[in-house]
Structure 1
Amino acid sequence: NIGHPLLVQSLNVDDLHTNEPAWGVADQAGHGTEMAGLSVWGDLAHSLASSNPVVLTHRLESVKILPHNGGNIGRHHGNLTLEAVARPEVSAPYRQRVFSMAITAKDNRDQGKPSAWSATLDRLASDVDGEGLIPRLIIVSGGNIDDINAWGGYPFSNSTDSIHDPGQAWNILTVGAYTEKTNITEADTQGYSAVAPFGGLSPFSTTSRTWQKHWPLKPDVVFEGGNVAKNALGPVTIHSLNLLTTHHELTERLLTTTNATSAATALCSRMAAQLMAQYPNLWPETVRALIVHSAEWTEQMKADFLDVRERSGDYQHLIRHCGFGVPNLERALWSASNSLTLIVQDELQPFVREDDKGEPKLREMHLHSLPWPQEALMNLGETMVEMRVTLSYFIEPSPGIVERGAGGRYRYESHGLRFDVKRPEEKPDDFRARINQRVRDAEDGSYTGGGSDYNWQLGAGLRHLGSLHSDTWTGTAAALAERGVLAIYPVAGWWKTRKKEGRYDKKARYALIISIRTPETEVDLYNAIENLVAITT
């Protein structure tokens, strides 16, 4: 509701759109106004409890994609989404935007497979129709567990209820929900307790636990989505376990509560807008990477979904439930501005066709030198450090793939990108040779040489799913000093295998974030490196 006193400064009437004029632009159901309040203010329970000012860095636009009764008048959701994206872009073409959509299918039949709707989102994110000139950051909810009986089976019900269409799209940020809301404050609630513990996955959140192993790791991240209560009679929603936000009927009240992955998606979109306001030159791929790179799992998430042996497969199990954890705006802003983080925005050409009769071949890779002084790391010796690497890029979905199905040369993705890091004791020429061999053989799976690179949470065999890859290496500072170089290299996609489409000479953008930190609080890694940089410059 544009007349709401908490939204009136953030939303102009010219920025209210609708796919069908007969629907009007006003919010009749309340969901849009609830999401608007969270997108601007965050959870108002926190804002109203603090005496600190809230600085607003962004504005809102809205598009009514469906009528208030939820029907789509026989039109495909992908087409409705295309139109919803186009309307504000035509109205104000030069604005930077985050597209936030908290609408999903009701069921989970796709099980990670691309659908017409998810492929549409992938096309929009990579701007296929505009030849990649204006990629888009699209943030989508993972879909909800609405069955009250399923809440009673928490957290096992989260494992069996799959993320809903179009949350399986590769290029988007898919948002799940966790919760820190466990304090029930209503009167007459004796005998009630919170279903999810503090820091646990929200009972509403769907997962990719049941997907086939080659589909992307989803959700990407989780934000606060509220909790449910239970007593001897069963579970129930309750206001004090929800998020506080704006209400659409001003004559009734100004505030209301909301929950689930819709609320989490609004919070994620708010963080993305804040990052873009602070760093307007960041690409959508980079903002996506920063949000994931800033995420951490809570101790409760690890207790629920990570085996104590902490093998790579156990981390994948954790990610398929909780994504890469809970993002943090302060960590993301810090990562974008300090000397312990390297951020790269670049492009490479994955493939080339050398003559009209030849087959497209893999063309190039990039080598990035890690920027931290070797001497500073060597001086830290056996101090344990963590190096986190996040690689984000957008793929182009294969034409006709939804009808045909993926397989063989009909891959869904146009291309893939991978990263690898030089190992201790490995000479630079040997590292280059190993990556070159992997580049040549990755497409047919014939490369088995090189051994394992230990101490990664996921490892090369599990982290390279979808188009967003994040992994953490743990070892000594001295061992990190011997690594020094990271490679970005391509693997085959349909740009290479379907030469008749003529896309083999396309370039591919990517965002790369590398950061280091030490879990030992008494070691000031930042000052150790900053001081050496000051001495040598």
Structure 2
Amino acid sequence: MVEKSRQFPHIYVPEKGKNEAYKRPPQGGGSKSPPERDRKEHAQFLEQAIDRAIQEARQQIKSRNSNVAVGVPGFYLEFQLKAEETAALKSLENRQKKIELVAVSQLPEQQDMVRATVFVPESAANYFLKKIEEYRDEDTKKNKPKNEALIARLEGVDIGTVQSLFTDEPALFPQDNREIWWEVWLRKGKKEGFEQVATILDVRINSHTLSFPEREIVLAMCNVEAMAQIIKNSDAVAELRLAKDTPSFFLEMRTREQDEWVEDLAARLLEPGKHAVSICLLDSGVVQRHPLLSPGLAQNDMHTVEPSWGVNDSPQWQGHGTAMAGLCLYSDSLMDFLATSEPVKLLHRLESVKILPNSGGNKPELYGAITEQGISLPEIHEPTRRRVLCMAVTSETLSNHRGTPSSWSAAIDRLCFNDGDFRRLMVISAGNIRQDIPVTNYLDINDTEPIENPGQAWNPLVVGAYTEKINIIDPNYQGWQTVAPGGDLSPRSRTSVTWETQWPIRPDVVFEGGNMAWDGQNPGESINDLCLLTTHYRPNLRMFDRISDTSSATALASYMAARIMSEHPNYRPETVRALIVHSAEWTPAMQKHFNGASSKTSRCNLVRRYGYGVPDLGRALQSAKNDLTLIIEDEIQPFYLEVNSVKLKEMKLHQLPWPQEKLEELGEANVELKITLSYFIEPNPGERGWAYRHRYASHGLRFQVKGSLESDRDFRWRINQAVREEEEDNPVSNHSDNEKWFLGPKARDVGSIHSDVWYGTAVELAQKDAIAVYPVGGWWKEKKYLDRYEAISSYSLIVSIRVPEVDVDIYTPVYNLVSTVVPIDI
């Protein structure tokens, strides 16, 4: 590749995109028809089933304890239907009658069936029975059975139970009468009533609470029988999950350096400036007195969510927080700094928030609430400080293999989105594989071990690990081999290959996580030569520790985010996240796997293993003459209210400053166009996402690029058509340009960051001078009663043109077209 040195600032495009009203194309197709039924027979079957359920429900209501019961008397109905018939779910609710769909889950042992659990007030007990009778006896104007779209899709009805509300993996449901900690998802506004019933029934409740637009989440300890009593005597519970245990880590210590080296480096350290960016560590605490940490970590920047824990690191976590702190402050350059005699300027500072206890860990917590509390402490102390939030704390559960949001991951999404105006940049780890790593097929294990909780979150940067460490010098390991080849995935890094395809691609990127060594017989193991050097939590015993896996990768990613934020303090969090992803490339070892991928689906699976590759700080900060980057920051209002209906409002059309003449001169030369779109969603969690009205994300954004031979009019029409197709959950039309994108819309349009590369010729690229950013549906649109339909979404759009094979200046023509180039901020 011919690539000039990177010495030019990226080109910031000050002009906002042009607002384009969305014009819905003519309706086509429509939803799938309901299954054919013997009308009378099906109605009779459902009438009998629902009549039995209502009779049992009346007995339940009658048996409510007047000294315990709170809220509106009612009951739960469990409807069974085939997974392919979930179009009926939206018809199970009736807001006027207070009938609410609360949970949807797969039926145990039946992969093709789901159960939808609905809360029905006593006053509306006959609602569904009447629907069935109308289906049996009445016709529509089109001579179709009335209510056919709902009733014909139902396979059965039962009275709801505790298990009906349980949305974790069925295998996790307690099979005996022992007490467990439940994660209780409450209907909004019902928390006080739930607590009242729980107190009377002597059910223990944890003090931490999470709040979302339609749900409040608490922890309660009781057996199934007690939970059934709570459900019978209140209208509060919407969903039940199993509370998860305290996170754990694998971390070993290293000793090979001398105290004198530390004293020498500490004397050369220059403290960060007063307004320096901070990396805020949410971890096990930090030993601030370490000579290499105290210059970058003030004592009053040490916090804890529980005062009795103190702020220092503890043996319980093997000094994990202190090890993270060293890497966050020095990156992987600590050995270089030790070896030099020059002054070392610290470019950012640290903050520490202890979110893990000194001992124990059996008591489950709402880690989303603890994370929220932890973040608030430094923000209250230093409200104007720019910070990167770094958390390499994860939890392994049996229920995260699908990618479904948890209470913790949803809380992190909410913390990042915040109020939509003040947003936060958070970097979290993908989590580590805890079992022995087989050497011969370690990537197979990586692909089947899913990202850990809370890596399901959409808004943070989720980091996996790769490795370039392949040299084993220690004579004690003579003859040993490395498990991972240089440039491939780190042996313990987790992936999202097994996740359902609608959930985000994770990890986003990978950083150095070290390697493992193998003696030819036993499972691989970590050794000093294949880890990273960092600070030890017991400086009175030793100064240095080793760190590896996704913890080290997360620290390195946080360092890079802090560097970008330090250079450009006005960049939005979405922009910093986008620049990290946009700068990433797959290593040659990774690229070999991509070269063997025969389809976009197989490519997507590899992206779910490697993310978008290994980021490069130089590429994230500067352009080259033959590799220029444009940065656009804009806003869009996805929806608006027209009469009584929420509709799509607008798209943004960005006319780009384009080196058209220079590209046309290059003719058939190969070029690359890389685009990354980054935005934050507002979460609305709950296991009801089988129906479009219960989407997790507030909204989605997509991008499309004008075709080489496409007129502006045709381009606008294609965008409107794409919006309609996505709204109706139809396959995206196969535009001729799609084949030249590495991933294509189907693979890239998940989550809240979308990145892809177009490959073609310079003359083709010369005409691709416009990008449309447009909205697709979410709960801001579908849930009018939550009054979020006028909300604004900020987004960042990064666009790069690269001419990899030609020594050419495409930077200057674009620079001359743009009135403002953002300089490096001091």
**Superposed pair shares fold, TM > 0.5:** yes
Q: How many Å separate the matches in 2 of 1:337 and 1:495?
A: 43
Q: Does 1:341 align with 2:629?
A: yes
The two structures have a TM-score, normalised by structure 1, of: 0.94
Report Cα offsets for 1:427-455 as digits up to 9, x if no partner.
Answer: 11111111122223421034755633221
The answer as to whether partners of 1:376 and 1:529 remain within 8 angstroms in 2 is no
Report Cα offsets for 1:505-533 as digits up to 9, x if no partner.
Answer: 11111011001111115344435756899
User: Which of these residues, 380, 387, 405, is aligned with residue 673 of structure 2?
Assistant: 387
Q: Aligned with 1:432: secondary structure?
A: helix
Q: Aligned with 2:410: secondary structure?
A: helix
User: Which of these residues, 464, 488, 492, is aligned with residue 777 of structure 2?
Assistant: 492
Q: Does 1:243 align with 2:532?
A: yes
The answer as to whether partners of 1:311 and 1:457 remain within 8 angstroms in 2 is no
Q: How many Å separate the matches in 1 of 2:603 and 2:476?
A: 41
Q: Counterpart amino acid of 1:233?
A: Q
Residue segments in structure 1 that go unaligned for 5+ positions in a row: none
User: Which of these residues, 551, 556, 560, is aligned with residue 262 of structure 1?
Assistant: 551
Relative to structure 1, the CA distance from residue 319 to residue 269 in structure 2 (aligned partners, 3 Å threshold; closer, same or farther) is: same
User: Which of these residues, 779, 786, 810, is aligned with residue 501 of structure 1?
Assistant: 786
Q: Does 1:520 align with 2:805?
A: yes
Report Cα offsets for 1:24-53 as digits up to 9, x if no partner.
Answer: 101123101100000010122354456776
Q: Aligned with 1:473: secondary structure?
A: strand
Shift of 1:414: 0.5
The answer as to whether partners of 1:285 and 1:392 remain within 8 angstroms in 2 is yes
Q: How many Å separate the matches in 2 of 1:119 and 1:406?
A: 17
User: Which of these residues, 347, 350, 353, is aligned with residue 57 of structure 1?
Assistant: 347
Q: How many Å separate the matches in 2 of 1:402 and 1:88?
A: 30
Q: How many Å separate the matches in 2 of 1:187 and 1:77?
A: 43
Q: How many Å separate the matches in 2 of 1:392 and 1:206?
A: 23
Shift of 1:204: 1.2
Within-5 A mapping of 1:138-217: 138-150=426-438, 153-217=441-505
Q: Does 1:121 align with 2:412?
A: yes
Q: Counterpart amino acid of 1:66?
A: L
Shift of 1:407: 2.8
Residue segments in structure 2 that go unaligned for 5+ positions in a row: 1-286, 820-826
Report Cα offsets for 1:248-274 as digits up to 9, x if no partner.
Answer: 111111111111101100000000001
The answer as to whether partners of 1:122 and 1:169 remain within 8 angstroms in 2 is yes
Q: Counterpart amino acid of 1:474?
A: Y
Tell me which residue corresponds to 1:103. 393
Shift of 1:56: 2.1
365-374 or 70-79, larger mean C-alpha shift: 70-79
Q: How many Å separate the matches in 2 of 1:324 and 1:105?
A: 24
The answer as to whether partners of 2:626 and 2:808 remain within 8 angstroms in 1 is no
151-160 or 50-59, larger mean C-alpha shift: 50-59
Relative to structure 1, the CA distance from residue 433 to residue 117 in structure 2 (aligned partners, 3 Å threshold; closer, same or farther) is: same
Q: Does 1:332 align with 2:623?
A: no
Q: How many Å separate the matches in 2 of 1:256 and 1:506?
A: 47
Report Cα offsets for 1:141-178 as digits up to 9, x if no partner.
Answer: 00001212445641211111110010110001100000
Shift of 1:108: 5.2
Report Cα offsets for 1:477-534 as digits up to 9, x if no partner.
Answer: 1100111110000001111111111111111110110011111153444357568999
Q: How many Å separate the matches in 2 of 1:448 and 1:321?
A: 25
Q: How many Å separate the matches in 2 of 1:276 and 1:220?
A: 19
Tell me which residue corresponds to 1:478. 763
Tell me which residue corresponds to 2:369. 79
Q: Aligned with 2:324: secondary structure?
A: helix
The answer as to whether partners of 1:66 and 1:72 remain within 8 angstroms in 2 is no
Q: Which has the larger radius of gyration?
A: 2
Shift of 1:406: 4.7
The answer as to whether partners of 1:339 and 1:530 remain within 8 angstroms in 2 is no
Shift of 1:336: 11
Q: Does 1:427 align with 2:711?
A: yes
Tell me which residue corresponds to 2:746. 461
367-376 or 264-273, larger mean C-alpha shift: 367-376
Q: How many Å separate the matches in 2 of 1:378 and 1:530?
A: 18
Within-5 A mapping of 1:355-434: 355=643, 358-398=644-684, 401-434=685-718
Identical pairs, percent: 51
Tell me which residue corresponds to 2:726. 442
Aligned pairs, how many? Answer: 526
Q: How many Å separate the matches in 2 of 1:470 and 1:517?
A: 15
Please give the root-mean-square deviation of Cα atoms over the aligned residues, in Å: 2.1
The answer as to whether partners of 1:180 and 1:226 remain within 8 angstroms in 2 is yes
Shift of 1:2: 1.0
Shift of 1:220: 0.2
Relative to structure 1, the CA distance from residue 54 to residue 210 in structure 2 (aligned partners, 3 Å threshold; closer, same or farther) is: farther
450-459 or 189-198, larger mean C-alpha shift: 450-459
User: Which of these residues, 300, 311, 315, is aligned with residue 599 of structure 2?
Assistant: 311
The answer as to whether partners of 2:624 and 2:811 remain within 8 angstroms in 1 is no
Q: Counterpart amino acid of 1:270?
A: Y
